[in-house]
A and B are shown apart, each in its own frame.
Chain A
Amino acid sequence: MDEIYSKLLSSDTKADLLILFHNNPGLTDTIEGVARRIGRTASEIEADVKDLVDLGVLVKQRFGKLDVLSFDTNRDNQIQEIISNQLKRRAD
């Protein structure tokens, strides 16, 4: 759990991605589309996306010639708890 927590919060981009998907669970988009929604480019978020996919937080699927990202709803409760703690810390 600690390892997941530290990896989840190891960069601002990861935190932004987690908050984005937490607040918008219906988001299913290309990496470019996701990047645009947090004011970044695909190349800027690529490494963080890979970490979150490795952690099972995000799901990456190939659709035609596009890579599509979505939130793993099976891990939603666990992630919500982690994000909730992160939001509380940011607010403090």
Chain B
Amino acid sequence: MVDRVRTGVTQLDKMLCGGFVAGDTVIVAGGAGTGKTTLGLQYLVNGATRFGENGIFVTFEQMPNQIYRDAKNFGWDLRRLEQENKLRLICTSPELLLESHGTKHFLDEPIRQVKPRRIVIDSLSNLGMYIEEKEVRKEAYRLLNYFKTKQISSLCTWEAPGIIGQSLLTNVGLSRVADCIILLRLVEIESTMRKALVVLKLRGSDHDKALREFKITSQGITVAKPFTGFESITTGVPRRVQLPRSF
């Protein structure tokens, strides 16, 4: 029986046949405004408040005060969770995560203090600001294996501005480093921007392959039913398809 790490997003956990596999590396890829950071925060807040699993959130670009404010809009009091030592929000530069000091890692101390089972890196694509593209895979592999050694399940966001979003992951070879890949993207359907989610990969486990609509509500992300009646949704420009009458 595989040990699962529940996201707390009911439908997403169903798609993942119970949750992420414990200790695995998850990459949530998507363009700006698709909800990557929200999903990462929700994963940590649910871990800390519902499943007894502490977490660390590492942000590179977004400042903590913005994150506290945005989280509060979803009813998540991150400051209180920090006071209770269930969560730690760390704002730093990617180069510090890549640096080593003898045998010490930059995150050794917060990990010792918080004892997290979950960590979110927002965003792994920021590594590319400090190292060449060909080095990203190697350095990401080293960083993610550090978490695995500590038995921490990691969720890394990945800024994917391309049409489908997956191509950039493939370019730097991260799709092989990740155990699970979730793609979020905006799609235009009948002049309305909607959000789509699909689990592209879940190593060692079955999963729902359907492309589902999701919404960012006042309680965070909720995943709804699959898109039906359209094709080419992942291109961002879906076409309506004529379903046979028997459907």
Contact = CB atoms under 8 A, between A and B. Distances in A.
Interface of A: 23-30, 32-33, 37, 62-66, 68
B156 to A, nearest CB: 18
A33 B65 contact: no
Contact of A63 (B64, B65, B91, B101): B101
B95 A37 contact: no
Interface of B: 63-65, 82, 88-93, 95-96, 99-101, 104, 106
B92 A64 contact: no
A27 B64 contact: yes
Contact of A33 (B64, B93, B101, B106): B93
A66 B95 CA distance: 9
A64 B64 contact: no
A33 B92 contact: yes
B101 A23 contact: no
B99 A28 contact: no
A29 B94 CA distance: 9
A15 to B, nearest CB: 16
Contacts of A29: 91-93, 96
A37 to B, nearest CB: 7
A27 B92 contact: yes
B147 to A, nearest CB: 18
Contact of A65 (B63, B99, B106): B99
Given A25-B64, A32-B93, A33-B92, 15 more contacts: A23-B63, A24-B63, A26-B91, A27-B63, A27-B64, A28-B91, A30-B93, A37-B63, A63-B96, A63-B99, A63-B101, A63-B104, A64-B99, A64-B101, A66-B96
Given A37-B63, A63-B99, A68-B96, A27 B91 contact: yes
B65 A24 contact: yes
8 contacts: A23-B63, A23-B65, A30-B93, A30-B95, A32-B93, A63-B96, A63-B99, A66-B95
